[in-house]
Amino acid sequence: MARMTMIEAIREAHDAAMAADDRVVVFGEDVGFFGGVFRCTAGLQEKYGKSRCFDAPINESGIVGTAIGMAAYGLKPVIEIQFADYVYPAYDQIVSEAARLRHRSNADFTCPLVIRMPTGGGIFGGQTHSQSPEALFTHVSGLKVVMPSNPRDAKGLLLAAIADPDPVIFFEPKRLYNGPFDGHHDKPVESWKAHPLGEVPDGDEIVPLGKAAVRREGTEVTVLAYGTMVFVAEAAAQETGVDAEVIDLRSLMPLDLETIVASVQKTGRCVIVHEATRTSGFGAELMSLVQENCFYHLEAPVIRVTGWDTPYPHAQEWEYFPGPGRVGEALKKVMED
Amino acid sequence: MTSDTGPLSLNVPEPGCRPGRTPDFSDFEIPRAGAVARPPVDADPDLIRDMAFSIVRVLNKDGAAVGDWAGALSTEELHEGLRHMLLLRTFDARMLNAQRQGKTSFYMQHLGEEAVSCAFSRAMEPGDMNFPTYRQAGLLIARGYPLVTMMNQIYSNAEDPLHGRQLPIMYSSKEHGFFSISGNLGTQFVQSVGWAMASAISGDTRIAAGWIGDGSTAESDFHAAMVFASTYNAPVVLNIVNNQWAISTFQGIARGGVGTFAARGHGFGIASVRVDGNDYLAVHAVAKWACERARRGHGPTLIEHVTYRAGGHSTSDDPSAYRSRREAAAWPLGDPVERLKKHLIAIGEWSEERHKQAEAEVLDTVRAAQKEAEAIGTLTAGKVPSPRDMFEGVYETMPPHLIRQRQEAGF
Ligand SMILES: Cc1ncc(C[n+]2csc(CCOP(=O)(O)OP(=O)(O)O)c2C)c(N)n1
């Protein structure tokens, strides 16, 4: 066990997977010599050679397309899209090809592929470095979609994703790379090295896909969150004094419906928080599921706190980012009903 | 499997100049200034194929302008060109510093590449449209776009014409022929072809210029642009700025170890030229040739500007982690500002003193603009755009759900 940042944990997961299985290959823009602009793959090229960790041309469609070919050959590619905002050129390859290969070939060909990408805002990245496009992927049959919120889960989930026989979209909340962030941008950020969730097991212990974690137990309301919003939700619960149960979904597809339903049936209230724009966001899916499964237990309408339906603005970032203030308001409101 | 074939291995190109190594440009062939002939503007692309492998250069090492491509600019124009490059360089230095002081979140500079956008701009006419990347602010500066407005954009302050919505340096000015910059690489290249096609469809006289970095030529949109430009003989100039690096990745990753970026035009039958991007006169002459070609209906030209990114990729980048610190100084095409200055001195139109004076004047101009912009505000202080603005302009008319969200947000 060692305390480390999410970046280091992701690097460790790569390292463990590459050491255990020489079919694992890692590539993407700036991923090789430099180790990625966020340094998540630093040192891997030196350790495993240029055929297993290398720089790719700037062509996301090409990166995903070649990775699909490699996966079909029998390798296990783990590829990096430099920012989630740049995945769109590869969208066709992911949606029409990777997601469907197993189904359409009757498993003649499969696609064990991990597509990693930094996601989310709070770093003054403007509209092309801040997006949270997870809903574009959860809507696609054949994909798994994962988003860890801490180093421990990042390593375990990435190892699970690499071991998975199907394509996994692996979102990394970049605001959490170096330390937990609860939305109080005017306060200094502590490092993961000072946080219990920065404690990462050695070796290749996985965190299974499809299992949520209860980050804070509570009795009055269930907050469904993932990525950076887990910490925002915890802060909001703390600050309002509402006894909220905060569930970190970790994996959006497959989704741990059981944990969600058990919690909402217990508390009778639900608030959903995500950074992505609201309309047709993943929150809409969560709301439907809660409605379908917990209707007779609900004591108040389910509320969503999300990014607005606008592109992510550079200067008004903190008005866009669903911070503890907005989440706190929602908690209070849901308690009034 | 036949027994005489050994195991295959993957080729991953590597630059020769990682940190700690001695920079080596000995493989980089640089033709003499004046060596490349200037073909007529209606030249058949097939007959000028070798231009994609050579480099058009005008200024020789003594600062003299030589060959067919020389003589297109008056002394006043050269003085103005020098001033534009100095302005851009000084602007960059001040804004880089402002970013370091926390007055904005991000900045990208042009150090070493000033001639490319400044000289190209002069070849275009009002009404023409550039589809730039983040490294062509010289197109705005050379067209007299107000420095204060550029800074307001960088500071995302209350006078930012883009209301704080865009990342710093992602300017937009239709009036100045500067298409709105996207953070998504390469998308603008094919859009420039579409704009040019529209001009042709409309029987207009205006032309477009697309811009892309060497690394981004790997994007599919680069290839899409070439297909459309060649199929429809679009009145467009397609510019590749080969500054040798794409963040930590050297240009060989986008190109492979073979050919040149310009040579990629050959498969499409597009006239393709390489130019010394650190030679103001050469860039201007080639740009003028290509623009005229487009305007007279002779179709697209692909220009590879051979230059060097002397600064970091952005304020988030530290190039010493992936390339030799001495590489910039070893770059054989020199510094564009120094080269134009030397030329002006060589023809008796400039002096070290006047240069110093010009530098001081430019610094005053930039400082004054900065003072004016900062009096309005920076990202962290002063007058900022209203958060209301974030809901505006998503659609022409704000739909009810956004009005509700704006109210919910408290604005
Ligand atoms: C579609 C897309 N992929 C990746 C990126 C991240 N990125 C930003 S700049 C850059 C390097 C671009 O290099 P080049 O095209 O050579 O231009 P230069 O920065 O050298 O001027 C990369 C990979 C992006 N902005 N857009």
Tens digit of each residue's pLDDT (9 = 90 or more) over A217-271: 999 999 999 999 999 999 999 999 999 999 999 999 999 999 999 999 999 999 9
Looking only at the bridges linking them, the beta strands covering A24-28 and B301-306 are: unpaired
Helix (H, G, I), strand (E, B) or coil at A146: strand
B184/A contact by beta carbon, under 8 A: yes
Nearest CA in chain B to A45: B12
Above 80 in pLDDT, residue B3? no
Q: B222, B247, B251, B314: which to mutate for ligand 1, most atoms within 8 A of CB?
A: B247
DSSP assignment of A92-111 equals: HIIIIIITTHHHHTTTSS--
Name the minimum distance, in Å, from the CA of B322 to any CA of chain A. Answer: 6
Residue range B129-156: mean pLDDT, rounded: 98
Ligand 1 first shell, C-beta below 6 A: A 29, 58, 60, 82, 86, 89; B 135, 183-185, 213-216, 241, 243, 245-247, 309, 313
Tell me which of B190, B249, B323, B411 to substitute to probe the interface with A (most A C-beta atoms closer than 10 Å).
B249
Give the start-end residues of each E strand in chain A. 2-3, 24-28, 53-55, 76-80, 114-119, 144-146, 168-173, 199-200, 213-216, 221-225, 244-248, 251-253, 270-277, 303-307
B312/A contact by beta carbon, under 8 A: no
> Contact A299/A268 with Cβ under 8 angstroms?
yes
> Which 8-state DSSP code applies to residue B176?
T
Looking only at the bridges linking them, the beta strands covering A76-80 and A114-119 are: parallel
Lowest pLDDT segment from B267-271, B274-278, B340-344, B386-390 = B386-390
Lowest pLDDT segment from A94-98, B21-25, B310-314 = B21-25
End-to-end CA distance of chain B: 71
CB neighbours of B82 closer than 8 A, spacing ≥ 6?
B280, B337, B340, B341, B344, B350, B358
Above 70 in pLDDT, residue B1? no
**In this predicted structure, what is the pLDDT of residue B291?**
98
> Contact B67/B35 with Cβ under 8 angstroms?
yes
Q: Which of these, B331, B216, B326, lies nearest to B278 by C-alpha position?
A: B331
The amino acid that residue A105 corresponds to is S
Residue range B275-301: mean pLDDT, rounded: 98
**Interface contact B248-A55, CB threshold 8 A:** yes
**In this predicted structure, what is the pLDDT of residue B121?**
98
A285/B contact by beta carbon, under 8 A: no
Q: CA-to-CA distance for A48 and A35, rounded, in angstroms?
A: 13
For the stretch A221-249, what's the b/e string if a residue is b when 16 or more beta carbons lie within 10 angstroms of its beta carbon? bbbbbbbbbbbbbbbbbeebebebbbbbb
Q: Could you say which of B218, B390, B391 has the minimum Cβ distance to residue A59?
A: B218
Banded pLDDT at B271 (limits 50, 70, 90): very high
Crossing angle of helices B75-100 and B280-295, in 10° steps, is: 110
Q: CA-to-CA distance for B375 and B187, rounded, in angstroms?
A: 36
Looking only at the bridges linking them, the beta strands covering A53-55 and A76-80 are: unpaired
Atom index in ligand 1 nearest the CA of residue B219 equals 1
**In this predicted structure, what is the pLDDT of residue A41?**
98
Residue with the two structure tokens 């550029």: B150
Chains A & B: contacts with CB separation below 8 Å: 132
The amino acid that residue B353 corresponds to is E
Q: CA-to-CA distance for B51 and B171, rounded, in angstroms?
A: 33
Tell me how far the alpha carbon of residue B247 lies from the centroid of ligand 1, in angstroms.
Answer: 7
Q: Could you say which of B10, B14, B246 has the minimum Cβ distance to residue A51?
A: B10
Joined tokens for residue B91 = 């602007």
Residue range B327-340: mean pLDDT, rounded: 97
Q: CA-to-CA distance for B370 and B150, rounded, in angstroms?
A: 10
Tell me which of A27, A29, A40, A59 to substitute to probe the interface with B (most B C-beta atoms closer than 10 Å).
A59
pLDDT digits 0-9 by tens, A58-98: 999 999 999 999 999 999 999 999 999 999 999 999 999 99
Q: Cα–Cα–Cα angle for B349, B353, B359, nearest 5°?
A: 95
Joined tokens for residue B293 = 């070609």
**Interface contact A279-B401, CB threshold 8 A:** yes
**In this predicted structure, what is the pLDDT of residue A203?**
94
Count the residues in chain A: 337
Percent of chain B clearing pLDDT 90 (strictly above)? 98
**In this predicted structure, what is the pLDDT of residue B263?**
98
Please state the φ and ψ torsions of residue B338, each to the nearest 5 degrees: -60, -40
Q: Which helix (H) or strand (E) holds A13?
A: helix A6-20
C-beta neighbour count of A105 within 10 angstroms: 12
Strand ranges of the sheet holding A270-277, from the earlier edge strand across to the other edge: A213-216, A244-248, A221-225, A270-277, A303-307
Crossing angle of helices A229-240 and A324-336, in 10° steps, is: 60
Joined tokens for residue B160 = 């930012």
Banded pLDDT at B27 (limits 50, 70, 90): confident
Tell me how far the alpha carbon of residue B217 lies from the centroid of ligand 1, in angstroms.
Answer: 10
Q: CA-to-CA distance for A88 and B184, rounded, in angstroms?
A: 9
Count the residues in chain B: 411
**In this predicted structure, what is the pLDDT of residue A307?**
98
Residue range B20-49: mean pLDDT, rounded: 95
Name chain A contacts of B253, Cβ cutoff 8 Å: 55-57
Q: CA-to-CA distance for A269 and A334, rounded, in angstroms?
A: 7
Name chain A contacts of B156, Cβ cutoff 8 Å: 314-315
pLDDT digits 0-9 by tens, B74-118: 999 999 999 999 999 999 999 999 999 999 999 999 999 999 999
Tell me how far the alpha carbon of residue B70 lies from the centroid of ligand 1, in angstroms.
Answer: 34
Name chain A contacts of B9, Cβ cutoff 8 Å: 51
B251/A contact by beta carbon, under 8 A: no
Q: Could you say which of B105, B166, B249 has the minimum Cβ distance to residue A55?
A: B249
Residues of chain A with pLDDT under 70: none
Q: What is the rounded radius of gyration, in angstroms, for the C-alpha atoms of chain B?
A: 22
B227/A contact by beta carbon, under 8 A: no
Q: Which helix (H) or strand (E) holds B154?
A: helix B147-155
Q: CA-to-CA distance for B297 and B207, rounded, in angstroms?
A: 10
Joined tokens for residue B30 = 């640089």
Q: CA-to-CA distance for A235 and A229, rounded, in angstroms?
A: 10
Above 90 in pLDDT, residue B147? yes
Q: Which of these, B184, B167, B171, B173, lies nearest to B379 by C-alpha position?
A: B167
Name chain A contacts of B245, Cβ cutoff 8 Å: none
Q: What is the rounded radius of gyration, in angstroms, for the C-alpha atoms of chain A?
A: 19
Percent of chain B clearing pLDDT 70 (strictly above)? 100
Write the residue with the smallest CA distance to atom 12 of ligand 1. Answer: B246
Q: Could you say which of A125, A278, A316 has the minimum Cβ distance to residue B164?
A: A316
> Contact B118/B315 with Cβ under 8 angstroms?
no
The amino acid that residue A109 corresponds to is F
Name chain A contacts of B215, Cβ cutoff 8 Å: 57-58
Residue range B276-299: mean pLDDT, rounded: 98
Joined tokens for residue B122 = 């002069």
Q: CA-to-CA distance for A150 and A138, rounded, in angstroms?
A: 21
**In this predicted structure, what is the pLDDT of residue B16?**
86
pTM value is 0.95
Q: CA-to-CA distance for A28 and A38, rounded, in angstroms?
A: 12
Name chain A contacts of B10, Cβ cutoff 8 Å: 50-51, 54
Joined tokens for residue B351 = 């002096």
A314 is catalytic: no
The β-bridge partners of A271 are: A223, A303
Tell me how far the alpha carbon of residue B246 lies from the centroid of ligand 1, in angstroms.
Answer: 6
